[in-house]
Structures are given as structure tokens and as C-alpha cells.
């Protein structure tokens, strides 16, 4: 797998965003946009998926987190590939924890296939995370849930989808959100009117606000504690 694109924090790092791109893209596809909206204390990691044949695209080789056989609800899925990709994401989380960033200061995110992987990886991780940003995507292996969930019910999920998406149907996103809401306590599903299978300035503004909300309080609290220590 290619080395991830890393955007370091501009002040002392106290949080991390790990964001997975969509099918056929690379970590470079999202790094600039995310660098522009992340808080200054947040490091951004944009890994690039391994290049492999994709059944949906007639076996053509491209960066893909796992094989996509179909984008039909209820169609066959690449369970071993999804679980292998999940293990890679868990490894990235663990690396950040080893570097001193607690799990509850780590946000997972992704677009399309990358968003699907972010959702699956977060739900099957054994420590509460700061949250999940899931853009234009779906919950893979959905029939395994809630049984496959090992994370806390309280992990916040922000799911966003354009209602003109011709690639990952809007209805697919809605159904995933409905299922998630049945066993997770903090799920937001936001519709972007007229948006196709892409992002928008409005969506990125919302992602900026939500990431800041999930990670800001601790940062302010730590700053206050540091100030108190300097005063005393």
C-alpha cells in the first residue's frame, strides 16, 4: 500500500482525522480540502487504498479498499476484503494511540467506498472514537448489525448524502442511516439537495463544524488547565 498523505497539526497535536477516499482515488484527492477545514490541533491522515481488480468495473485494477461486486442493496459483498481493510484502519488507529492520541480524540471519515469502510471500522473497533464522518456512502455487511458492533452506542455518526447521487443511491444512504439509528444513539443524516456523487462547499462547512464540535471541548479544557498551571 502507498504511504498515506499526512497533514500535520499546526499547533500541538491533540486529535487525528483518518479519512478514506472513494473508489479509484488516492489520499491526495481529499488531503487539501480536509487540511482547509480541520482544527489547527488535528493531524489529518489520508491513506491510499491498494490497487486491485474491481468486479463492478469489469475487473479493471484501481485503488480500492475492497472488491465491489455490485451497488445493489442486498447484493453480494466482499466480506474478507472488507474485514482486511477494516484491520488496516484499526492498525492506523492503534498507531495514533501509541503516539499519545487517545481513541476518543480520533475521528474516522470517508467518502463513498471509503465512508463505508469508515463506518464498518468504527462500529467494529473496541474503544469509543470521537466520531465518524460518512459521506455519500452505505453500511457494508449491514445484515451483520447490530450483532457485529463492539463499539459504544454513543459514538457520534454524521452521515451526508446528495439526493441526486447516481452512483451510490440516496435511498441506500437513507436505509443505512435508518439501520444505524436503530442501535446507535447519536446518528445525524443530512441531505444535500441537488448534490450528485461528490462533495460541496456546504457539506464541507458542515463537516468542519461537526469535527470541531467533537474535538473542541477537550482542547479548550486543556488550554484552560495549561493557563491555570502557568498562573499558579
Q: Burial level of 108, CB count in 10 A (0-12/13-18/19+)?
A: buried
Q: Are strands 42-46 and 5-7 parallel, antiparallel or unpaired?
A: antiparallel
Which pLDDT belongs to residue 71? 80
Catalytic choice (25, 197, 206, 219): 197
Show contacts of 70-77: CB within 8 Å, 24+ apart.
71/167, 71/168, 71/169, 71/172, 73/169, 73/171, 73/172, 73/175, 77/140, 77/141
Which pLDDT belongs to residue 70? 87
Which pLDDT belongs to residue 209? 97
Catalytic choice (31, 165, 176, 206): 165
Q: 112 catalytic, yes or no?
A: yes
Q: 176 catalytic, yes or no?
A: no
Q: What is the pLDDT of residues 144-179, one digit of tens each?
A: 999 999 999 999 999 999 999 999 999 999 999 999
Q: What is the pLDDT of residues 56-68, one digit of tens each?
A: 999 999 999 999 9
Which pLDDT belongs to residue 1? 66
* The model scores a pTM over 0.75: yes
Which pLDDT belongs to residue 72? 79
Q: 25 catalytic, yes or no?
A: no
Q: What is the mean pLDDT of residues 179-189?
A: 97
Domain total in the chain = 1
CATH at 161: 3.40.50.1820
Spatial CB neighbours of 165, under 8 Å, sequence gap ≥ 6: 136, 173, 195, 196, 197
pLDDT score of 221 more than 80: no
pLDDT score of 51 more than 80: yes
Q: What is the pLDDT of residues 117-153, one digit of tens each?
A: 999 999 999 999 999 999 999 999 999 999 999 999 9
Helix (H) or strand (E) holding 109: strand 106-111
Say what percent of the chain tops pLDDT 90: 89
Catalytic choice (112, 121, 176, 219): 112
Q: What is the mean pLDDT of residues 67-92?
A: 93
**pLDDT class of 217 with cuts at 50, 70, 90:** low
Domain span at 23: 3-228
Amino acid at each position: 500500500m502507498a504511504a498515506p498523505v499526512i497533514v500535520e497539526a499546526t499547533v500541538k497535536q491533540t486529535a487525528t482525522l483518518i479519512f478514506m477516499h472513494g473508489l479509484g482515488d488516492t489520499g491526495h484527492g481529499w488531503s487539501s480540502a480536509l487540511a482547509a477545514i480541520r482544527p489547527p490541533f488535528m493531524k489529518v491522515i489520508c491513506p491510499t487504498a491498494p490497487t486491485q481488480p474491481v468486479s463492478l468495473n469489469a475487473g479493471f485494477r484501481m485503488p480500492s479498499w475492497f472488491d465491489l461486486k455490485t451497488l445493489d442493496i442486498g447484493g453480494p459483498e466482499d466480506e474478507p476484503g472488507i474485514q482486511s481493510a477494516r484491520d488496516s484502519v484499526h492498525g492506523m488507529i492503534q498507531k495514533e494511540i501509541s503516539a499519545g492520541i487517545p481513541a476518543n480524540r480520533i475521528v474516522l471519515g470517508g467518502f463513498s467506498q471509503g465512508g463505508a469502510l469508515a463506518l464498518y471500522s468504527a462500529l467494529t473497533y473496541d474503544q469509543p472514537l470521537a466520531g465518524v464522518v460518512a459521506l455519500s456512502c452505505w453500511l457494508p455487511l449491514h445484515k451483520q448489525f447490530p450483532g457485529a458492533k463492539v463499539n459504544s452506542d454513543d459514538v457520534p455518526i454524521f452521515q451526508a448524502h446528495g439526493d441526486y447521487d447516481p452512483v451510490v443511491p440516496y435511498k441506500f444512504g437513507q436505509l443505512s442511516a435508518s439501520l444505524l439509528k436503530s442501535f446507535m444513539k447519536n446518528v445525524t443524516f443530512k441531505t444535500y439537495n441537488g448534490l450528485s456523487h461528490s462533495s460541496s462547499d456546504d457539506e464541507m462547512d458542515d463537516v468542519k463544524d461537526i469535527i470541531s464540535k467533537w474535538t473542541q471541548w477537550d482542547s479548550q479544557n486543556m488550554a484552560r488547565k495549561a493557563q491555570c498551571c502557568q498562573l499558579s
